[in-house]
Amino acid sequence: MLDIPSRVRVHVETPLAAQNDMGVCDAFEQYAPVREPDTMNAPHPPKVAGIDSTVPSPAHTVAPAPVTTGPPAVPAAPSVSSGPGALLTDRLAGWVSDLTTLHELTERLARTDTLADALQELLRAGAALVGARRGLVVLEPADRLGPDTMIGLGLGRADLGHIETVPRSALSYGRILEGLPGGEGEIAEPDLFAEDGLDPRHREVAARLGYAASYAMPLEADGGGGRLGAAVWLYDEPAEPGERQRHLIGLYVRYAAEHLARLLEVERTRACMRTMTEELLPSRLPRVPGVQLAARHRTGPRGGGDWYDALPLPDAALGLAVGSVTGSGPSAVAAMGRLRASLRAYAVMEGEDPVAVLSDLELLLRLTEPARSATALFAYCEPALRKITLAGAGHCPPLLLGERRTEFVETSVSAPLGMLACWEAPSVELEAEAGETVLLYTDGLLHRTGEPTDRAFSRLHAAAAGVPKSLRHDPGAIADHVLRTLLPDGAAGQDSDEDVVLLAARFE
């Protein structure tokens, strides 16, 4: 960028992209320093990294004086694109272009809602700003609480593995992350192979991957967040960003670090909720002769109250249960844990009578947590006889899957626990044939389809009926097939406010 005379100073202040429409960082302060007037057409510094077309350089409108021969021409009217005003126009056009580009890039970054997507967007935008083709970002929060990850742009996993074999002290991002001398800020290595004392392993990896220069920047969050990691962009030939490019990438990375810090806290909260939920659910399913078990559970980002259980009972019996507690978050997870623990105790004492088990559970819920309701289904199984006695409280009916039939078990209609002054509903008995599987699930499985309830039940029935015969001997394969069919395109693993529980029991 060219300099502006001291009598002309432009200040453009723009807040964070998340706070207004400009989409740039805290302040775009005094973009051009105040110096003495320079020549009208100052040449660009030679041999620097070219900037991507998404960040256009301002075009100079001052054309050289034409060389003419013969009689002098008639003087023309003054052109609006000549003189000092044209230079100022070029400067302002360049700044507007830069602001527009930063606005677009930060808006794209702000639309990312996962840490992995934000890191990928950071690499792509940074590569455009500094004129690089490849790069990598290393996330290692200074508080050592994780998550730690490395993501590449234009680099495969094998390439990242090769880079990790280089001693950290020899890598620019390693010096930043380890706080070594020279790693306090940006690190430009315009010609790696011309550097004296380049680590032999680094030289070998750079030659193998085909990069000759690098530019690294730390990712630091303001407000005491500390260092989050470092980003590195790689050049195929000796090069380095120019002054204008460094200014733009500095503004962008400053905003990106704040966005990453927010997503990092969200990711940690989600991981904590998943851990809490998993610890309150069975770590493994019991092995009971005559029946095979498999369970699939997906927790929402805020933590939900869906749960399942399978426990051996006296006389070689087996108790199966699924349920859902209203609400989400830590309180719902804690209530789910208490409810499941209580049901286990009641099942051991009177599991052969599922109605009594749910009646005791309803009384406990009404006395201890009167503001909360829950649905539940408990089944008392006798594997040797392939006999099942079950009762449900406001819960979805089980689905029976076999070679000759795929049908929902008809259960009595009843209210959820805690909704009535006294709950009681009759139990239902059924006998499964050899090789048949009973699917117990929560309503979150139906809600995630986005369909009305009747259509969601129809889709679940069709998904179960469509399980290939080659998979019907494995309850885990049956559960996976139902999830993939009912929630295609990875929807079962995506974040959703609805938990998913699917418990499959195959009788031999």
pLDDT, tens only, 386-403: 999 999 998 999 999 998
Out of 142-146, 228-232, 251-255, 348-352, least confident range:
142-146
Query: Quick one: which H or E segment has residue 241?
Result: none
User: Is 79 part of a structural domain of the chain?
Assistant: no
pLDDT of residue 487: 87
| pLDDT category of residue 28 using cuts at 50, 70 and 90 | very low
* Domain match, 150 and 181 both: yes
Judge contact between 321 and 313, C-beta under 8 A: no
Question: 66: burial class by Cβ within 10 Å (0-12, 13-18, 19+)?
Answer: exposed
Question: 273: burial class by Cβ within 10 Å (0-12, 13-18, 19+)?
Answer: buried
Tens-place pLDDT, residues 270-326: 888 778 777 788 888 999 999 999 999 887 666 678 999 999 999 999 999 999 998
User: Is 358 part of a structural domain of the chain?
Assistant: yes
User: Is 63 part of a structural domain of the chain?
Assistant: no
* Domain match, 221 and 287 both: no
- Residue 92 belongs to domain spanning: 6-32+87-111
* Domain match, 287 and 242 both: no
Choose between 463 and 59: higher pLDDT. 463
Choose between 35 and 470: higher pLDDT. 470
Tens-place pLDDT, residues 87-104: 888 888 878 888 888 899
d(CA 339, CA 325): 9
- pLDDT above 80 (res 177): yes
Q: Look up residue 239 and give its amino acid.
A: A
* Domain match, 146 and 252 both: yes
The domain boundary residue, chosen from 225, 241, 269: 269
CA 57 and chain centroid, separation: 34
Out of 11-15, 51-55, 306-310, least confident range:
11-15
* Domain match, 149 and 189 both: yes
The domain boundary residue, chosen from 269, 304, 334: 269
What is the DSSP code string of 157-206? HHHHHHHHTS-GGGSHHHHHHHT-TT-SS-EEES-GGGSTT--HHHHHHH
* Domain match, 152 and 258 both: yes
- pLDDT above 90 (res 25): no
* Domain match, 316 and 228 both: no
CATH number, domain of 163, equals: 3.30.450.40
* Domain match, 238 and 300 both: no
